[in-house]
Amino acid sequence: MSSNNNTVRLMVSPEVARLVKQAPKSEQLAVVCGETELSLKDRLTVFLYLFQSADLELKGAVSAALAAVDADELATLVGGDELHPKHLELIARGRLADPRVIGALLKNPGLTPATLKNIAAHCPAAVFELIAGNRQLLAAHPEIAEALAANPRVEPELKRRFGLLADEPPADAEEPEEPEGEEEPENEESAEEFDEEHLSKYQLALEMPVADKIKMALTGDKEWRNIFIKDANKLVSSAVLKNPRITDGEVLAIAKNKSSSDELIRLIVMNNEWIKNYEIKRALVVHNRTPLPKALRFMAILSEKDLKGLAKSREVSSVVVNNARRMLMTKEKKK
C-alpha cells in the first residue's frame, strides 16, 4: 500500500483539464453521465475534481454516476496500476458496499492505509469479511483491525468469528430471566428485514447490466423506482417515469428535485394526466429545467398566493418573476 497520496503526481490530460476548469456545467454533466467518448480513467479523473465542487448538483451526479459504473469494468481498471491513490479513495467511497470492486481495491498497491482504514470502519458485512479474512494485512496494520472491530455496520457475532472481539462473558446468574413465550416486537424484526431487503436490492442494482436496469425501472415496485430514478444513465432513469405503477406523489418529488435532468422534466411536462395536478404544475413552474414557454403557460392556473411568492423569488428566472408581477397587477386592476 502507498503511504502517502502526494508521493505520486496525478497527471491530467489537456481535455480533462479543460472539462474541469473551463467547460460549462451542462458539458460537465454530460461527461459525468457518460455521454462522451472519454476513457473510464479520464471520467474518474473528472469525477475526482467535480466531486470537490461546491455545486451540490454536480456532486450528486458524480455519486450517482460512480455507483452506476459497471462493476467488472471498474474492478479491471482498479486491478491495474493506472490509477492515482486519490482515484482509489474516491472509488472506495462511492462503491463501499460493492465486494467486487472493493476486492480489487484491496489488491492495489496504491491504496493508502488511510483509505483502507476508512473502508474497514464503515463497510457492510460482505466487504468486512474480505478484509477481516486477510490475516497478513491485519498483522501489518493493527489499526485496520481496530477499525473493523469498531465498525457499527457489522454485527458483534461476525466480529467474534474473525477474532476481533472477545467472547461475551457468561450471563449473570442473578439476572432475571425473561418470561417464557415473550417474543421480540414484530415491528423491530420487520425493520431489520426491510433494511436487508433494501441493501440487497441496491447491491443487485450495482451489478445489473443496463438492459436489466431498464426492465426493472419499467416494471419494478416503488423501492426499485427510487433506486433507478437516480441512475446516471438517462435511459434507466427515464424508464422509471414510464412505469405504469408510478404515483403522482413520486412524480411530484421528481418535479421538486432541483437535480432532476432535462429529460425527466420533459417527460413530466409531456404527460397530460400529470400536469392536471396543481402541485406538479407549480413545481414545474419553479424548476430551472422546465422550458420557459411551458413554465409561463402553467402560471395561468397558479393562485394569487403562489404568484406573490414567485414575484419575490430569487430562485427562478427573471422572466417568471416579471410575469408573476404582471399577472398580479392585472388581478389588482380587475378588482
Q: What are the sequence ranges of the domains in the chain?
A: 247-334
Looking at per-residue confidence, does 218 or 190 come out higher?
218
| Interacting residues of 105 by C-beta distance below 8 A, sequence separation 6+ | 78, 88, 91, 92, 111, 119
| Interacting residues of 56 by C-beta distance below 8 A, sequence separation 6+ | 259
Question: pLDDT at residue 6 above 50?
Answer: no
- pLDDT 10s digits, 169-200: 544 444 444 444 444 444 443 333 334 444 46
Provide, rounded to the nearest whole percent, the portion of the chain with pLDDT above 90: 40
Looking at per-residue confidence, does 59 or 307 come out higher?
307
In this predicted structure, what is the pLDDT of residue 189?
39
* 7 — pLDDT class (breaks 50, 70, 90): low
Question: By C-alpha distance, which of 118, 134, 75, 82 is closest to 99?
Answer: 75
* 211 — pLDDT class (breaks 50, 70, 90): confident
Averaged over 40-48, what is the pLDDT?
A: 91
Pairwise CA distance, residues 59 & 49, whole Å: 10
Question: pLDDT at residue 164 above 70?
Answer: yes
As given in the structure block, the three cell numbers for residue 39 are: 476513457
Question: By C-alpha distance, which of 72, 128, 55 is closest to 96?
Answer: 128
Euclidean distance between the first and the last CA atom of the chain, given in angstroms as a whole number: 76
Give the predicted TM-score (pTM) of the model: 0.50
Question: pLDDT at residue 249 above 50?
Answer: yes
The DSSP result for 74-106, as a single string, is: HHHHHTSS-S-HHHHHHHHHHTTT-HHHHHHHH
Whether 240 contacts 268, CB under 8 Å: no
In this predicted structure, what is the pLDDT of residue 3?
54
Averaged over 80-107, what is the pLDDT?
A: 90
Whether 57 contacts 258, CB under 8 Å: yes
Q: How many CB atoms lie within 10 A of CB 185?
A: 8
